[in-house]
């Protein structure tokens, strides 16, 4: 039973990724990318990595995708934006992602309702992860925090309105 769910979810993930890299419009690609990430989250759950599944949904499909949406919307300022959004959000666009999301939702319901029969893989729970994370991997956590700090400073610096430029747009 787990195997069937695994194959269905794998198909959803691969299909959503293929659709993502073939979309001409960045927003449509983003919709399918979110679907791909959610499908991988379900895969994590099926593999018994519940903590990683939660993080996948919250951080990947939540925070990072919001960043993408934010930048795409920032790059489309001006009068034509409203027309553009009207074209982007046509009802037909939503059908594909909605169907894929529905498949994932049905799988989730199935796992929740038939929790006993749809047994997931070998479960490594959050407690074990936490103990290992702050035990032998303490240095890695510190390095990750340094990386995030560097990313924060870099994003702040690069996100300033304009760096040193002349009027022609070339570096002075």
Of 42 and 91, nearer to other proteins (C-beta) is 42
Contacts of 41 (CB under 8 A, 6+ apart): 53, 56, 57, 60, 61
Distance between CA 45 and CA 48 in Å, rounded? 5
State which of positions 1-40 bind other proteins (CB under 8 A): 2-3, 6, 10, 13-14, 17-18, 20-21, 26, 29-30, 33, 36-37, 40
Q: Scanning residues 105 to 164, which ones bind other proteins (CB under 8 A)?
A: 119-122, 124, 128-129, 131-133, 137, 140, 144, 147-148, 150-152, 154-155, 157-159, 161-163
Q: For other proteins, which is the closer residue by CB, 91 or 164?
A: 164
Look-up of token digits 């959503």: 16
Q: Decide: residue 32, CB within 10 A, 0-12 exposed, 13-18 middle, 19+ buried.
A: buried
Among 51, 84, 93, 110, binds other proteins (CB under 8 A): 51
Q: Which of 63, 82, 112, 139 is in the footprint of other proteins by CB under 8 A?
A: 63
| 3-10: long-range pairs with CB below 8 Å, 24+ | 5/42, 5/46, 5/107, 5/110, 5/111, 5/118, 6/43, 6/46, 8/103, 8/107, 9/39, 9/42, 9/43, 9/46, 9/104, 9/107, 10/39, 10/43
Closer Cβ to other proteins, 3 or 112, answer by number? 3
From 143, 124, 3, 134, select the one nearest 53 (Cα to Cα).
124
Name which position in 35, 46, 100, 104 contacts other proteins (CB under 8 A): 46
Contacts with other proteins by CB under 8 A lie at: 2-3, 6, 10, 13-14, 17-18, 20-21, 26, 29-30, 33, 36-37, 40, 43-44, 46-49, 51-52, 55-56, 59-60, 63-64, 67-68, 71-72, 74-75, 119-122, 124, 128-129, 131-133, 137, 140, 144, 147-148, 150-152, 154-155, 157-159, 161-163, 165, 169-171
């Amino acid at each position: 039973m787990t195997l069937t769910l695994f194959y269905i979810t794998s198909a959803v993930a691969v299909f959503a990724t293929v659709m993502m890299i073939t979309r001409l419009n960045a927003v449509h690609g983003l919709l399918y990318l979110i679907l791909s990430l959610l499908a991988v989250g379900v895969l994590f759950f099926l593999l018994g990595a519940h903590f990683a599944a939660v993080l996948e949904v919250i951080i990947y499909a939540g925070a990072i995708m919001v960043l993408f949406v934010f930048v795409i919307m920032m790059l489309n300022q001006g009068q034509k934006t409203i027309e553009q959004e009207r074209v982007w959000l046509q009802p037909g666009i939503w059908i594909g992602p909605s169907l894929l999301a529905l498949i994932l939702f049905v799988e989730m319901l199935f796992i929740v309702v038939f929790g006993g029969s749809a047994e997931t893989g070998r479960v490594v729970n959050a407690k074990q992860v936490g103990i290992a994370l702050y035990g032998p991997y303490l240095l890695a956590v510190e390095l990750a925090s340094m990386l995030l700090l560097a990313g924060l400073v870099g994003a702040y610096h690069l996100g300033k309105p304009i760096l040193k430029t002349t009027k022609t747009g070339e570096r002075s």
